[in-house]
Structure 1
Amino acid sequence: MIFNEERETMSEVEREALQLNFLKNTLKRVYENNAYYKNALNRVGVKPEDVRSLKDIQKLPFLTKKDIRDNYPTGLFAAPQEEIVRYHASSGTSGKPTIAAYTKNDIDMWAEVIARSIVAAGGRKSGIMHNAYGYGLFTGGLGLHHGGEKLGMTTIPVSTGNTARQILVIQDMKPDVICATPSYALHLAEVMEAKGIDTRETSLKYGIFGAETWSEEVRTLLEEKFAIKAVDIYGLTEVVGPGVAIECMEAQDGLHVQEDHFFVEVIDPDTLEVLPEGEYGELVFTSLTKEASPVIRYRTGDISAIHRGKCKCGRTTVRMSRTKGRVDDMLIIKGVNVFPSEVERSLLQVSELSPNYQLHLSKNGHVDHVELYVEICEEVYRETNESLDHEEIHSVKQKVQSVIRNECFINIPVNIVEPKTLPRSEGKAVRIIDESMQTANLK
C-alpha cells in the first residue's frame, strides 16, 4: 500500500519539474524574507532567478550547524511571527539547541510525510500505534503523532519512560505498530523478559525505529525479540523532524526520501564536491516546501549514499542507505577510521553479550586512548556463578577482542561488566563517553 500514489510513484521527469518549481519558490521566499540567506546568496553572486535547473543548486552556498547556532534563535526564519504556529528544538548535547519553526502549512506537510512513512512501514488506517518517542521540544513524539492521526490510526501518546506503564499499554491496548528509539525498544524487551512476558506473543507487527544510528544486527535482534518487521526512519529537526525518509517493509533496502519536499545530495565532506550515486559521503538536504524555517543545502553530518531505481514496493523515490555514522562521530584509532555502528555490528556477533556497550575516550598525555565496555548476558553470568574472574568470561573477552580486530581492524582494551551495569536510555543511547571532555568541564 502507498499513501500518496501521485507523489510517491512519479516519473523522473515529473519529479524533477516539481522539485525545480518548489526550489525556485523557496529561494525567492528566503531571498525576500531572510537577511542571512540574502547575504549568503549575494556573496556567491547568485540570485533566485539564476537557478534554472536542479543542477544549479550546486551554485548555492552550504548551511552548517554553526550557521544555525550563530543565527540563534530566529535568524533563519522566513515567515512573520503571526504565521508561525509552533517551535521545536534539537536534542543536541553541546552548545545552543537548533530551533525549528512551523507554519500551519509546514505542520500539514509534516503530517503528510509521516503518514506516508507509517504506511511504508506497514501501518494501516485501522491499526493502533504505540508512540514511545518523546513529546515536547523534541520532534519525534509529535511528529509521529500527527502522522498517525493524518493516516487515521488510533494513536497512543505514551512518550518515553515509565517502562512498566509502556508494557501495560502494549498488553492491554494491543497496538500493532511501535515507534521508539531502537535502544529503548531493546530495553523494553529486556524488562518484559525479566517479568516473564513472551515478547514474541504481543500484538505488535511492525516497528518504526530511529533518532539514533543502528545496525542490521540490531534490526535482526528487534525482529526476533518482538516477531515484527523493523524499519528505519530518518529525519532532522533542522529539516522538519522525522519523516524525511523511511524504509519500506517490503524491501527494507534503503530509505525512501520524500523527494517532493526534500532535495538530497551526497558530498565529499573534505572537498565539498557532489559525489556520484552509490558513493558514501555527507548527506546534504534542501527543504523545498518548508515555509517558516527552510534550509538550503544543509550539511547534516550524516554519512550515507543514495541510489535510484524503482523499488519492489512500487515507489520511485530516491533511496538513501542507512546512515553508517556521523562525520563528527568517526573515531580515528591508531590511524584506522571507525564508526560506532561498525563496533556495534561486530559485537552483536558475540552471543554471550547483551546489546549494550560504550566506548570510553580519554587522553594519555597527547595520545588518544579508547576502551570498550560491554555487558555479559545474564545467562552466562549465572553459569559462571556471578564471577567476572571466571575462565569463561576471559574466553568471551578474547572472543570480543578477536571479532573487533577482524571486523574493525583495531586492537583496543575490552572491559566486560556485569549485566545491566551500563546505563539504559529512554531516548537516544549514549555510546561514546569522552572522559577528556568531562574532565575539562570540571576545571
Structure 2
Amino acid sequence: MIVRTGGNRREFLRIGAAGAAAAALGEAPKTARGAAFQAKNDRPRLALIGAGGQGSGDARSASRFGDFVAVCDVDRLHAEKARDSDRIGKKKAEVYEDYRKVLDRNDVDAVVIGTPDHWHTKIVIEAMKAGKDAYCEKPLTLTINEGKQIIETVENTKRILQVGTQQRSDHNKVFLMAVALVRDGRIGKIKKVTAAIGGAPSGGPFAKETAPSELNWDLWLGQAPKVGYIRERCHANFRWWYEYSGGKLTDWGAHHVDVSHWGLGKDQTGPTTIEVVRADLPVSYKDGWPTVDDQYNTATTFLVKATFADGTPLEIRDDTPNGVTFEGERGKIFVTRDRIDLEGGAVASIYKNPLPEALLEDLRHGKGLDDHFQNFFACCNDRGKPASDVWSHHRAMTTCHLANIAIRLGGRKLTWDPVKEQIVGDDQANSFLSRPQRAGYEIVV
C-alpha cells in the first residue's frame, strides 16, 4: 500500500514493505549461482549448534538448502525437539550435548549456530578452524576483541561466515532501499542518524535453584563466571545479563546500528567519540561491574551519541519508534521492518529515477536480492562475500559495545581510535575490550 500526502513545502511518501522493490529498486541484479545446493546430490550436510527458539528457526530456514545430520544443545529437550522436527532432524540427526563432538565430524560441511551470545565467538572460531562454513546468529561477539579474533580466523581459514543480521537481506527490501537512497545522495549530506531500538526490562531479585536435569548448567555458562543456576539467566532471558549479552544495545542494536553504519558507508571504520546523554541501569555498579548477581543488569533506557570523524552523529536510543532515521540536508528517510517513509528529496525522483543497479549490486557484494540463507549457501558455493560479513558486523558491534562500556562506567565519555581499535587515554575502559574467561573455556585463535 502506498499513501501520499503533502504540499508545496513538504513532500511525504510512505511505502509499505510489499511495494519497496517496485518503487525504487527496479530490476534486481541476478544472483550468481543463487540456487546453490538445490540438487539433491549437491545438498550440504549441516549441523545445528544451539537448538532453542532462534536456532531452530534458523535451522528450519536452512533446511531448504541442506540436510541436518547433527543437532546439539546443552539442554537435552531442545536438542531432542530439533532432532524430531520434520524440517530439521527428521528423526534421523544425531543428538549431542558437546559441540566439539559435532565439529569432529568429517561429514559436516556447515554449521548453524544459535547459542546464547557469549558462546558465539568460541564456537564460530573452532568451527572455521575445523573446516566448516558457519552461519551464526547476531550479535556475533560479546566484546570488541572477539570481533578481531573472528576476523583473524576468517582470513586465515578462508571459511564463509554469514551473520544473522537478516535486515541486509530482508524480503521486503526496505532496508536495502533506504541504504541505497542515502548512498546515492537522494537526501543530500547526512546531518544525523538515529537508531531507535527500544528499552529493556528490569527484573529480580530472582531465586537460585537447582538446575533441571536436562540442562548442563556448567557447559551453558562456558567462559562466563561460575554462578548458581537462576532460571531467568537462561534461555530467552540471557540477553538481560552483561555476562552473556549486551541487552538491547547488542540485541536490536546489532540490526539497526548495522543499518546505520551501512547507510553511512562506515562499514570499515567507527565513531571517534561516544557520549552517554542518559542511561539507566537496573542495579548498582562498581568499576563497571554489577554489585548483585540475582537481577537483570543491562541498561533499561538510554540515549547514546556516537560521532564519526566527519562529524556525523549517530544516536542510539530507546524512546522513539523502532527503526532507523537518516536526516539529510534535502530530506529524511525512516525505515523499519514493515515500511519506509520518505520526505523531501528522495520523494521527487523515486519513481522516475530507479536506483542504479551497480550500486545495488555493490551493496549486496555482487549478488541479487536473495534471502539471507540463500545468500549464505550461494557464498558457500562460490566463496564470495556474504551479505552480512564479519568485517562490517564487527564495526557495527564495536559501536554497540562502546556504548555499553560507557554506560557501565557511569556515563563516561570515550574517545575511540577506529584505526588502532583502542580507547584513547583510558586504561580502565580499555580493560572492557575483552572479558575474563573461565579456565577450560578460553577462546583460542
TM-score computed with the length of structure 1 as normaliser: 0.35
If asked which structure has higher relative contact order (CA below 8 Å, sep 6+), I would say 2
TM-score under structure 2 length normalisation:
0.35
